Amino acid sequence: MDDASTLALLLDRVVGGRASRPDTETTAAMLAQARRFATGVLAPLAPGADRMGCSLRDCGVATPPGYRDGWRAYAKAGWAGLTAPEPAAPEPAATGVAA
């Protein structure tokens, strides 16, 4: 059993609100896709962010190279809306992705 399936099973058996979230297979698929996005897009940005950090400039906040595009891709893919009111993903599934 992979990590996404294990987390989906835990959400199904332990966390309340089962009626308000997708079935276990759909939840596992969402978690697997979230993992691919996080490891493929966001995680590679971390070393540069650790070195450079963010800085306040006259025109706003300067972020490390790639951050703007990475987080725009996050929003465009719909991950930012997981905890939004319906028809977004139910809270227990979104919590698993955010973890």
DSSP result, 37-92: HIIIIIGGGHHHHHHH--EEETTEEE--TTHHHHHHHHHHTTGGGTTSSTTS--HH
Look at 54 and 10; give whichever has higher pLDDT: 54
pTM above the 0.85 mark?
Answer: no
Cβ atoms of 99 and 26 within 8 Å: the answer is no
**Is residue 7 scored above 80 in pLDDT?**
no
Over residues 18-75, the pLDDT tens digits come to 666 677 788 788 888 888 999 999 999 999 888 988 889 998 999 899 988 998 999 8
